[in-house]
Amino acid sequence: MNKNKKQPAFTIIELPTPPRLRRTSLVNRHGFTIVELLVVIVIIAILAIITIVAYNGITTRASNASIQSDLVNASNVLRMYQVDNTKYPDSVTDCPNPSSSSNICLKLSSNNTASYNVNNSSIPQSYNLTITNSTTNTLGAVTSDSKPIIPASSIAPLSPVADWLAMPSNDHYGNYYDSISKQYATVTRSTPKTIYDPLTQHIYDVPANYLGIRPRTDNKSGFEAEVEERRTNYLTNSSFETDSNSDGLSDGWVANGTMLGTIQTTRVPSQLHGQYAQRFQYTGVSGDVSKRIYLMTSYLASGFSAGGTASVSVYIKGSATGVTTKINISDQAWVNQPTTAVTPTSTFTKYTVSFTCPTGTTGVYAIPILIDSVDAGDTVDLTIDAVQLEKGSAPTSYIPTTTAAVTRDADLVTVPTTGWSASTGTVAMVLTAPSGPWTPGGAQTLWYWGASSNDRIWSQQTSGGSFGAFASGTGGSIALSGGIPTGYTTYAMVWNSGNSLRSYRNGGSKTTGSTAVGTPNSLPAMAYIGSSGTNYYGLDSPAQRFTVYSSALSDTDVSTVTNAIKDGP
C-alpha cells in the first residue's frame, strides 16, 4: 500500500431509490390493472341496475297512486253531477272550459289521460271511465257500479309471467288485459253481441272484436267477461219490434187461453234491450175456475235433430197473484218438454229451460208462457223481452232478431305465451259455472295446442260436471272429483315434465294424476282464453282472471295465489 497516497476528504454513498420513485418497464404503480377496472365497472353497473329498478318501482307506485286518486275523485264528481242533473255528463274531457253545460273538465294528474263513455238512456244510467298513465302505460278503470281497479297494483304474488284480468274499455265491453306485459288479448269475432248486467237490469250491445265486460256479479272486486261459442237465435221477432196490425201484440205471438175474460196486450218501451217489450194482463172474472192463459210463439224446427240439446231463455218481470206461472216447451205433437217455474218481480229476471230435442228435421217447437189455475179475482200483469231459442244446453247471451234468425260468431281469444315454459308451469283461474249444463266436449278455460299431441296443455270444464286438466300427451289427463260448485271458484292446474299433473279447487281439493306428464317438444306462440282454435266450444260463463307461472308451484304456493286472487283485484 502506498502510504503517501491522499485519501478523499469525504465519501459519497449512493442510497437506493425509494419505492415510490422507482420506475419499471411494466407498469406504473399509480394506475389500475385491467382486473381492477372490470371490478369497478361491474360494481357501477350493479348499482345502476339497483337504482333503475328502484326508480322504476317508485315510478310505478307513483303512477298507480295518481291513477287511483284520479279515479276516486272522478267517480265522486260524476256521482255529484248525476245527482244535480239527473244524468251523467256527456263529456269529461271538454277542457279547460266546457263548451256545454252537459260537459265537464276532469282535473287529472300529470301524464294521465281519460277515456269516458256514458249511457244515460239505460235504467239505471251508467258510465265507464278509463285512465291511462303515459309514462308507465298503466291503466285503471271505474264504472258507475264498480270500484276503481288498477291491474298493475294487484298483480298476483310469486312473480307470474302473465296475469290476465277482464277490463272494460268502453261501456260494458272490453278485453282481457295483462298487468305484466301491459297489453290486451286479441279478440276475433266478426259479428256484434250483447251482455246482460244484472246490477243495471239492462242488456248492452258489444261491437265486433270485443268481449262483453261488466262488474263481477258476486259483488266482489273487479270485472268479468263472457267468452262464448257460436250460437244462433232461431226465434224471429224476439225483440217485439213489429206489430203489423197495431193490436198491441207483436207479430208471431199469440195470446189466448180457456179464460172467460179478455187478455189485454200492449207493447211497451223496453227498459231491457231494443225498442219494445211485450206486456199482457188479465184479471179473473166471475166463472173463471182453474182457467189457463198463455202467451206463445213457435218455430219450425228444421235445423234441430233428434237427441240434440237446445235451450230457451226469456226475461220476465211483473206480478201474478193466485196463479202458477211457468215457461213450457212443447214439440210438434204438443208433448210437453221440461218446464221452469216463474216467480215474477218488479225487475227483469232471466229464466232458462234446457231440453233434448225429441223431433227430427221437421216439426214445431212452441214456447208458451203459461199461467195455470186462474180463478175469479186472480191478477196477471207480465212483461217479457229478449226471448231466445238456441242449440246447446247452456243458454248464452241474447242475440236480437226481428224477422229472421241471427247468428253470433264465436269469441276467439288469443294471448302470447311469452315467458311461459313448455315443460313446467302453473295456471290459476277465477271463473264461475254457467247457468245450464256444459257444452258437449267441454268448455276450454286456458290452453295451448301445438302441432303434436305431445305439445298440448289445457284445462276445461267438462260436460260431466267436473273440472279437468290435460298436459303433454295422453298420460297427463286428470279430473277433479265432486263436480263444479256454484258461483265463483278458483281453479289451478300444475304440470311438470316427469311428474304427475296436479289440479286444485279453491286452493285445496287437490287431485293428483296417476301417470307422469310427458316432455313437450315445443311451445306454441299463442294460447287461448276460454275458447278453442279448432272448434267452436266456448266457456259460456263469466271469467275474471287467468294467472300463469313458468314454474310448478307447491301446494302451499297454490294456496297463497288462490287466497290472493279469489276475491278480485
* CB atoms closer than 10 angstroms to residue 279: 20
* CB atoms closer than 10 angstroms to residue 3: 4
Q: Quickly tell me which residue has 371490478 as its cell.
A: 39
For the chain, list residues with pLDDT below 70. 1-30, 51-58, 332-335, 359-363, 434-444, 448-485, 532-537
Contact 352, 395 (CB under 8 A): yes
Helix (H, G, I), strand (E, B) or coil at 558: helix
* CB atoms closer than 10 angstroms to residue 29: 10
Q: What is the pLDDT of residue 263?
A: 96
Rg (CA), the chain: 34
Instruction: Report the C-alpha gap between 64 and 74 in whole angstroms.
Output: 15
Instruction: Report the first-to-last Cα separation within the chain, whole angstroms.
Output: 109
Instruction: Report the C-alpha gap between 129 and 141 in whole angstroms.
Output: 6
Instruction: Report the C-alpha gap between 551 and 537 in whole angstroms.
Output: 28
At 349, list the grid cell: 229476471
Q: What is the pLDDT of residue 533?
A: 62
Residue type, 147: K
Which residues, 6+ apart, have CB-to-CB distance to 140 below 8 Å? 64, 67, 68, 70, 71, 130, 131, 148, 149, 150, 151
Contact 430, 221 (CB under 8 A): no
Residue type, 175: N
195-to-273, 404, 438 alpha-carbon distances in Å: 10, 21, 19
Question: Which strands make up the sheet holding 264-269, listed edge to edge?
Answer: 264-269, 276-283, 379-391, 309-321, 349-356
Q: What is the pLDDT of residue 303?
A: 76
* CB atoms closer than 10 angstroms to residue 432: 20
Question: What's the CATH architecture for 254-403?
Answer: Sandwich (2.60)
Phi and psi at residue 547, to the nearest 5° = -115, 130
Q: What is the pLDDT of residue 119?
A: 87
Helix (H) or strand (E) holding 13: none
Contact 388, 312 (CB under 8 A): yes
Q: What tens digit of pLDDT does each residue of 493-537 get?
A: 888 888 888 888 899 888 888 777 777 777 888 888 887 665 556
DSSP 105: B
Domain boundaries, the chain: 49-231, 254-403, 412-555
Instruction: Report the C-alpha gap between 46 and 159 in whole angstroms.
Output: 22
Q: Quickly tell me which residue has 294467472 as its cell.
A: 547
Q: What is the pLDDT of residue 289?
A: 96
Classify domain 412-555 at the CATH topology level. Answer: Jelly Rolls (2.60.120)
Q: What is the pLDDT of residue 51?
A: 67
The answer to whether the 254-403 and 412-555 domains have the same CATH topology is yes
Residue type, 157: P
Q: What is the pLDDT of residue 388?
A: 96
Q: Where are the beta strands (DSSP E) in 57-191?
A: 112-119, 126-133, 139-143, 162-170, 173-178, 183-184, 186-188
Q: What is the pLDDT of residue 298?
A: 87
Where on the phi/psi map is residue 79: left (φ > 0), alpha (ψ -120 to 50), or beta?
A: alpha
